[in-house]
Chains A and B, each alone.
Chain A
Amino acid sequence: MLIIKNLKVKIEGKEILKGVDLEVKIGEVIALMGPNGSGKSSLANTLIGNSKYEAEADELTFEGTNLLQLKPDERAKLGIMMSFQYPVAIPGVTVREMLLASLRGRGLIVSALDLKKQIAEEGERLHIDEHLLTRSINEGFSGGEKKKLEILQMRILKPKLLILDEVDSGLDIDALALIAKNVDEMAKAGMAVLVITHYQRLLKYMVPDRVVVLKNGEVVDRGGKEIVDKLEEQGYKSYE
C-alpha cells in the first residue's frame, strides 16, 4: 500500500535520507529502527508532508496515489496519519473540536454528542483523566498523557496507515503496555503500522512482521523479528 523507492530527503539544505527503499503492505506491522540521528523521524515527517523536509524519490505512492505534491491534510484524508513524538499544544482548541473537524472534513456525518461519548469511552480504555479531554489539546499535559491522547485520536480517526513516531519515549511500563494493546487491536482489524523506535521495549508488546534498520540515512538491514533480538544483544554497533 505504501511504496517508497529511492527516497532522498533534505532539511535546510542538509541531506538526511540518502536513497531509502521501503514498502508497507496492508495490515502489516513494520518496525523502523536505528540510532539517534539515523533519519527515522525525518522519514516519518516526510511521509505526512511536513514542508520543512524537501523530498524527491523515484516513487512515493500510497495505494497508487503519488504523495509528493500532496499537503498534510490531503495525505491524512488518504489515510496516512502520525502519532507525534512531541505533540504540540493548541490553546483554546479541544480534542473534540479537532476530531469533529477532521471527521467532517472527510465528508462523514458525525453528531457532536456521539463523538463526545466515543471520546469518553476511548479515554477510559486508555486510562486518560476525564478532565484532560475537555481542556486545550496538550496544554499542560505530561509526556505520557500526550502520547495517550495521540492514540485516542487514532482510535477514533481510524487511519489506514498509522505511523508511531517514538511513541515509547517517556512512557512507563503500564502506559506502554496499554498503548501497545490498543494499537495491536487496530492492527488486527486491518490497519498497517509503521513503528519507529530505537528501543526494543515496545516491540515486545507489538511484534513486527518485518524490521528495517536505518543508519546515517540509509537502510543497513532488513529482516524479521530476529533483528530485534540481535539489536538487543549487540546494539547498533554491529552496523559500523
Chain B
Amino acid sequence: MSKKTDNSKLIEDKLYPLGHTDDVEYSFTAEKGLTEGLVRKISSLKKEPEWMLEIRLKAYKKYLEMKMPTWGGDLSPIDFDDIRYYIKPKNQEAKTWAEVPEAIKNTFEKIGVPEAERELLAGVKSQYDSEVVYGSLKKALSEKGVIFLSMDEGLREFPEIVREHFGKVIPMGDNKLAALNTAVWSGGSFVYVPKNVDVGLPLQAYFRINTERAGQFERTLIIAEEGSKMHYIEGCSAPSFSSASLHAAVVEIYVKKNAKVQYSTVQNWFKNVYNLVTKRARVMENAEMRWVDGNLGSRLTMKYPSCILAGRKAHGEVLSIAWAGEGQHQDTGAKMIHLAPETTSQIISKSISKNGGRATYRGMVHMVPGAWGSRSKVVCDALILDEKSRSDTYPVNKIQENDVVLEHEATVSRIGEEQLLYLMSRGINAEEASTMIVNGFMEPVVKEIPLEYAVEMNRLVGLEMEGSVG
C-alpha cells in the first residue's frame, strides 16, 4: 500500500487546514427516530464513498432484525424513537452556564478543572478551542508519519486503509448496539501509527478539533503497525454533560506484530446517560494491548473491553475501576479470547458501590483447543460501602485446552474496621481514613492511568466520601 510509506507528505497535502469545517454538514439536524432515509442522508452529508453507505445500510437492516441484550443492565427505559440519531456538533450546546447544576460547578472547583474547560464539559460549549495546542501536536505527529484525525476525516483522506480495517474486529452483527453504531456512526478518532514508530506523547481525543463532546455514536479505529507503540486517552474524570442520553460507541483496534497499544478511558457522564460501548482489539504475535478503564458516571454503563489474542505470545490486559453511586449501574468487565499458543492475559477489576449503586462484573476468558501454553489471571474485587448497595460477579471461564493455567479470584468486602481503627489511631479522621482506604483499594488500576486523570479521580473519590461517614 503506497499510502503507508508516503504518509508525511500525505498528511501535509491532504489534511484540512486548521479551522476548516464542512458547512453543509452543519446545517442539518435530524428528526427523531431512525429510518433508512436518515442513514442515507448522513452518508451523503459526509460525502462518503459508496461502499461505506452500503455498510451503513446493511447494518441498519441488521439492527432492525436483532434483539436487545436481556442480560446486563435495564435498557427498557430507552425510547429508541425519541432519539435524534444525528446531531450536528453546534446543536449540542444545550445549556447556559447558569443552568448548570451547582453541584457540578462545585466539583469543577474542587478538582481544579481549568476555567476554560468548564464550559465545555458542562455542555455550554461544544467545541474546544484547541487550535494552538492542536497545531503544534499535528506538526510533531506528521514528522513521524502518524495520522490522527477524526473518523470522518480519516475516511475521506485514507479510504483504502479504512476499508481494509473497518468492521473486521467488530462485525456489524456482533450485537444490536454495534449494528446501530455501524449504521449511524459519526465522529470518533482515526489513528494510524506506521511500522516501528513510537508515538511518544499520549494522543488525547480531547485535542481533535470539532470534537463532538457528546458524541453518541462515535466510531474509533486505531491501527498500530508492526513494532509501533502508542497510548490513546479518551474522556475525562470531571463530570461531563451530554445532550444525548444514549451513547453507543464502537472502538476497533489492530495491534499488529510486536506492537504495543494502551487505550485509557475515564468517563464521568452525567447520570442521564446510557453508555453502551463495544471495544475490542485484535492482538497479533508478540504484541501487547492494554485497556485501562475508569467508569465513574452514567446511569448505566455496559462495557466489556476485549482482546482477541490471535498471534502467538500475544498479551492482553484489562484494568478497570467502576464506581456505582446512587441510581447507577456499572455493568462492566472484560473478555479475553486466547486463539494462539502461549498467549497471556490479565484482568484486574475493582468496583465500588455506594448509596444504593450496583456494580456488576461480567467477564469471559476463553481458551480454544490449540492455545497451549496460555495463561490467564483474573482478579475482581468489590468494595460495598453500605447496606443499600450491591455487587455481582458473573465470570465465565471456558477452557478447551489442557496445557494452560487459568486462575480467577474475587472478593467482596467493605471498609475494614481494623483498617479504619489503625488509620484513626494515627490521628486521621474517619472520612479521610475511608478515602485513603478506598483510594488504596483502587491503586493497582489507578497507577496505570495518566497522572492528571489519576489525581482528579482520587480527588473525586474524596468528594464522594465526604459526608458519607456517620
Contact = CB atoms under 8 A, between A and B. Distances in A.
A157 B426 contact: yes
Residue of B418, B421, B425 with most partner-chain A CB within 10 A:
B425
A97 interface: yes
Nearest to B443: A92
A220 interface: no
Given A88-B419, A97-B436, A101-B432, A76 B425 contact: yes
A72 B432 contact: no
B69 interface: no
B355 to A, nearest CB: 22
B427 interface: yes
A208 to B, nearest CB: 23
A41 interface: no
Residue of B428, B433, B442 with most partner-chain A CB within 10 A:
B428
A91 B447 CA distance: 13
Contacts of B424: 49, 71-73, 76
B418 A88 contact: yes
A84 B429 contact: no
B440 A73 contact: no
A49 B406 CA distance: 45
Nearest to A99: B426
Contacts of A52: 417
B441 A102 contact: no
Contacts of B432: 101, 105
Nearest to B381: A91
Contacts of A105: 427-429, 432
A77 B427 contact: yes
B235 interface: no
B364 interface: no
B428 A90 contact: no
B439 interface: yes
A91 B440 CA distance: 6
Contacts of B421: 48, 50-51, 72
B119 to A, nearest CB: 34
Given A91-B443, A92-B442, A136-B440, A81 B422 contact: no
Contacts of A77: 427
A106 interface: yes
Nearest to B418: A88
Interface range on chain B (Cβ under 8 Å from partner) = 20 to 34
A92 B440 contact: yes
Contact of A90 (B417, B425, B429, B440): B440
A224 to B, nearest CB: 30
Contact of B427 (A50, A51, A76, A88): A76
Interface in A88-116: 88, 90-93, 97-99, 101-102, 105-106
B444 A92 contact: yes
Contacts of A98: 423, 426, 428, 436
Contacts of A161: none
Interface string B436-469: 1101111110000000000000000000000000
Contacts of A51: 417, 421
A51 B427 CA distance: 15
B470 interface: no
A52 B425 CA distance: 14
A105 B423 CA distance: 11
Residue of A48, A81, A84, A102 with most partner-chain B CB within 10 A:
A102
Contacts of A99: 426
B86 to A, nearest CB: 44
B203 interface: no
A143 interface: no
Nearest to B426: A102
A175 B359 CA distance: 46
A51 B442 CA distance: 27
A93 B426 contact: no
Nearest to B431: A73
A153 interface: yes
Interface in A33-84: 48-52, 71-73, 75-77, 81-82, 84
A92 B381 CA distance: 13
Closest 6 pairs between A and B when the two form their complex, measured CB to CB: A92-B440, A92-B443, A76-B427, A72-B424, A93-B440, A102-B426
14 contacts: A71-B429, A73-B424, A81-B426, A87-B422, A92-B440, A92-B443, A93-B437, A98-B428, A101-B423, A101-B428, A102-B426, A102-B427, A105-B432, A157-B427
Given A81-B427, A91-B441, A92-B442, 7 more contacts: A48-B425, A73-B425, A73-B428, A82-B425, A93-B423, A102-B426, A102-B428
